[in-house]
Amino acid sequence: MSIISKRIIAAAGAGVAALAAGTLAAAPAAAAPLPVQQVPAQGILSMGLGNWSGYAASIRIETTGRPGQVALSAPGGAACGRGAAGTLVRFDYTNLTTGRAGSGTVRPCTGPFSGPLKTTLHTGAGQIVGAINIVGSGGPWQIPGGATFGVPR
């Protein structure tokens, strides 16, 4: 490889590194899903007398771009057409690293119902464990689920 080729490669590499550093510093971090190990909460939804449907409520956790904060959602998918529209999903958590605890409640389906589709949890960095509960499903029949995930610094 000639000396000119080496200088071109070095200059190109320095330019790319400077561009990447400038881009990373200027752009806020985009939301990215975090892996969540979970057992969904199980419930029975009522859509009227004699019209029942099963529902498995799982959570989704995403980074927010801020240290120690994550976004919680519980997409309902096909269950939204089977009675989950008026349901809420609550996640009660504890950070095993710091001892911080809290909860967040979201609705799994869009519509004219109260409650956000996504909320921010101020968990702090560390390993998070918690319980998933179905709230207000039209029936008292639910079994809590559980979840764990790591929040980066």
Is 91 a residue whose pLDDT tops 70?
yes
Condensed to tens digits (0 to 9), the pLDDT of residues 109-148 reads 988 777 899 999 999 999 999 999 998 755 567 899 999 9
Condensed to tens digits (0 to 9), the pLDDT of residues 52-84 reads 888 899 999 999 999 999 999 999 988 887 778
| Residue whose pair of structure tokens reads 């529902």 in the numeric block | 55
What letter does residue 50 receive in the DSSP assignment?
T
Cα 90-104-64 angle, rounded to 5 deg = 130
